[in-house]
Structure 1
Amino acid sequence: MTDYRRLRVALLGAGAVGSQVAAILLKHGDELADRAGAALDLVGIAVRNPDAPRDVELPRELLTTDAEELIVGADIVIELMGGIEPARTDIVTALGSGADVVTANKALLATHGPEIFDAADQVGASVYYEAAAAGAIPIIRPLRDSLAGDRVNRIMGIVNGTTNYILDRMDREGSEFADVLADAQALGYAEADPTADVEGYDAAQKAAILASLAFHTAVPLDAVHREGITKVDAQLMDAARHAGYVIKLLAVCERLTGQGEVSPSGEAISVRVYPTLIPREHPLASVHGANNAVFVQAAAAGDLMFYGAGAGGVQTASAVLGDVVSAARRHIAGGVGVGESTRANLPVLPIGRVTTRYQITLEVSDEPGVLATVAGILSEGRVSIATVEQSVLDVAGDRADEAPGTARIVIGTHPSLEQDLSDTVARLAESGVVGRVVSVLRVEGD
């Protein structure tokens, strides 16, 4: 083997991803050295319990419970523990010692990203996090580097494999949410407590990371509007299919213009996660199973789509090791690490300032004059109707909470302001003619 400069690599965490990273470093070290221009010496793996069972058998002498000892003196620290602490403290310590950091920790970056990037800037180190937003899909580097000379206007991403698996099966099989969720848990796609996935928390963290990069603006996690998929049922799927749509949980990051009252440049951004109606001919509609995809619209480059596995130990390890090679190359080349750009500092607007199209599903009494009353309330609320479909439910009621003589109305709107739509739906619910607001779904990708 060529006599390379040797770099000390410390690994924090040996779970599904960490154990695969360690195994590949040990097995393919020579090949990685050829690509990096430096030998990558795995000097140790910090774990909570050295005796815990793992997917990959790792040398016992590399395992330790003392993360701090590993970090001191390391050139590259790979953090794959997850969670906020002790990951935050360990990363800041590593950066303070001059090491570059590679992490897949989306929760940490979404909540403490500015602090971590600032710590890196103070010492001229770099933080690499390709695996934090979409697993094996290369999206961080294209946004940070390849599109640095362009203006990203919009990102729509399927960034959570669990919810995509659930919604895809509901769409293709007509299954109910609870049944598919149980299958997803049995297959290991969903955790025993699936809240982070099905309520959109995981996707919101990734949306904050993607928006921060795309718009050169620090996006706090609490500025991301979040809704989950637990209210999506087979009837909503049927209505979407009939109208030519598929329902996906999307992370939408959008540049908004004409916002002079909140920004000197007249620009602001919106970052949101919610179940969305996507036209079946849109590329994101064909993302099946537990796969992820990120659709980017840029001023010069046009439409770009990145597709692939959004999770999995081996797949995510691929993105982590790509970052490790990049970090090694930087060490060999020398110089100060490139920091994150947040100088645009665009305001993040609340969901009420967003304009889009909607599909409103209502249950009403099947009697004359109801549709006219509904149309009048929408008109008064500045919500313009594009399409209306009505179906009469079974006289006995299709569900226990549906009264006999109930009709279901599905209303498609022209583009409307979210705040107007929200206020109008509230008035519909209180109008006396609407028995139940079944759902309000946004329409994206037209």
Structure 2
Amino acid sequence: MGELERFAEIISIEKEVAKKKHEVEALETDIETLQATYGEKKKYLDQLLEQVAVYDDRLAFAELGMYEPHFEFGDSEQYKDQIKKVRTLQKAMVSAKEATICPADWTVEGSRAKGQTMINRQSRLTMRAFNNECEAAIANTRWNNVVAMEKRILNSAKAISRENTSLQLSINDAYVALKIDELHLTHEYREQLKIEKDERAELARVEREEKKLAAEARAAEKEEMKYQALLEKARREAGSDEVSESLKQKIHDLESALEEARATSERARAMAEMTRSGYVYVISNVGSFGEEMVKIGLTRRLDPGDRVRELGDASVPFGFDTHAMIYSEEAPALEAALHKEFSEQRVNMANMRKEFFRVSLDEVEDAVARLAPDADFFKDREAQEWHETLARRKEKLQAVAPSELEALPAAI
């Protein structure tokens, strides 16, 4: 290859390099433009998503966050009274024509009176539109959309005021704040009603237990008196004739039965008279809830096993295993102490009456050993129905041919 040809080839390569370099620069410029455009559109998309969440109940809770209470009234009646006060303040602002603001001094056809009439009419239309929006928002408020409904009211006030810009008419922020207070109060009032309903149900359950305790105390006392009478009769028989071995055995048996009946009667009377005595129980249900889940509760029943059997009724697929049944004269305090130990592992943080905790039996055993040193604790899980169910499933799987197993992956 001659010198001229090599020079021409170099020139060609340089041109190709320059071309590629230009293409790379163009691509880099396009990338920068795309990144800038993406940032702007991402910001716009986030704004749109927030607006959509305000009007979509399915997204409201996830996108806008959890509601934090604004009031701390003790019962629903206080909430009702406060709602009435807030509504009275709203009516007062409307009556005093302070619910809207219009700083301009309008004249119509040279008349200030006509100008004021125009503003009054527009104010009434503005109030009607805004109040209707607020009523709809308040009526449809639920636990998962209350934050969204608050934003709806605020957005509605801005939108309506924006439509009145030409008249310089706007909704008073103080009036909007009263509507927001009404929304919060109404929501918290409804939530308080739920709490009070649960409390009434719990009080009714406690009252039923106390009545049952009183009945059991009377029955235990009656049983004690029965054995006392039988024993006295047997002793009179033993004193009049020669005592046979069978009579001696009968007296011994009656003495044992009387002692047991007396202990039961004393315990029943104590539990009926002492409102703080009871049993704190630790139970689990591996078949229903898995390995690391326990319930720590309290019962005042004379036979605490009744409460465990009741919890394992048709509402759960398997029965509960009992790991501890601790009698205490200060049962509520012991229960509260155990709950405090595992407050961070509580499964339901919204309803404190749901006493389930995601915790291992070893941890609970350690806490019980510290708080109730004399209590017995059993870590074994019998879970008979659960293990029998597993065994039967295993047998069915073993009886199925490999080809059938492949065809039924969901069953496996």
User: Does the pair score TM above 0.5?
Assistant: no
Name the one with the larger helix percent. Answer: 2
State which structure, 1 or 2, has the greater radius of gyration over its C-alpha atoms: 2
Of the two structures, which has the highest relative contact order with CA contacts closer than 8 Å and spacing of 6 or more? 1
Name the one with the larger strand percent. Answer: 1
Q: TM-score, normalised by structure 1?
A: 0.20
